[in-house]
Amino acid sequence: MSVLKDKYQKEVVKALKEGGKYPSPMDIPRLSKVVINMSVNALVDRDTLKTVSDDLAKITGQRPAITKATKSISNFKLREGMAIGAKVTLRGNRMYEFLERLIHATLPRVRDFRGIPAKAFDGRGNYTLGLKEQTLFPEIEADKVKRVQGMDITIVTTAKNNADAKELLKLLGMPFANA
């Protein structure tokens, strides 16, 4: 079992329950899924999309789904059905293992890191974090990267509001900025 999942079950649930805010144990917020999305310029060749897909597979340990454009946009030279990115949805043990690596190995490698912004909640208890390059992850060899690619990481929780989700993520060890 993942260390983060064990921490959630033994410490976080107990801490949230002691707050007296949740009448039922089923009301206690928990992590639902983590979605990682990498998009590329529509005009790039297929090799770039394959490289992005391979990098995402190395990072998450799961084969990504290729996302396609839903509508044509002439200004971007984008046609409906063109492959424009890759995404992975993590649940269960893989989700906890990925978050553990994100918190303890990846985020400390960010240059001049002072914490992640606390304003990136969507109002329904979900948090989205953007990273500028995939080389922050230890699984990616920086020497072999031809093109630096950013990604969006969305952490979906069962919390009803931002405050509950922030408390959950803070107890799990997310390093929020002191703003």
Give CA–CA dist 156/153, Å, rounded. Answer: 10
Task: Check if CATH label 3.30.1440.10 holds for domain 3-39+89-172.
Answer: yes
User: Is 80 exceeded by the pLDDT of residue 178?
Assistant: no
List pLDDT tens digits, range 16-71: 988 888 888 899 999 999 999 998 875 667 778 888 888 899 999 999 999 888 88
H or E element at residue 17: helix 13-18
The residue-averaged pLDDT of 96-109 equals: 90
Measured from the Cβ of residue 47, the count of other Cβ atoms closer than 10 Å reads 10
The pLDDT assigned to 37 comes to 94
pLDDT at 155 over 90: yes
The pLDDT score that the predictor gives to residue 70 is 87
157 band by pLDDT with thresholds 50, 70 and 90: very high
pLDDT digits (tens, 9 = 90+) for 113-132: 888 988 889 989 899 999 88
Q: How confident is the model over 91-103, as a mean pLDDT?
A: 92
- What residue ranges do the domains of the chain occupy? 3-39+89-172
The sign of the dihedral angle between the CA atoms of 178, 129, 42, 81 is: negative
Record the pTM: 0.88
pLDDT of 103 over the 60 cut? yes
Matching residue, tokens 């931002």 = 162
CA 51 and chain centroid, separation: 19
SS3 104: helix
Q: What are phi and psi of 35, to 5 degrees?
A: -115, 125
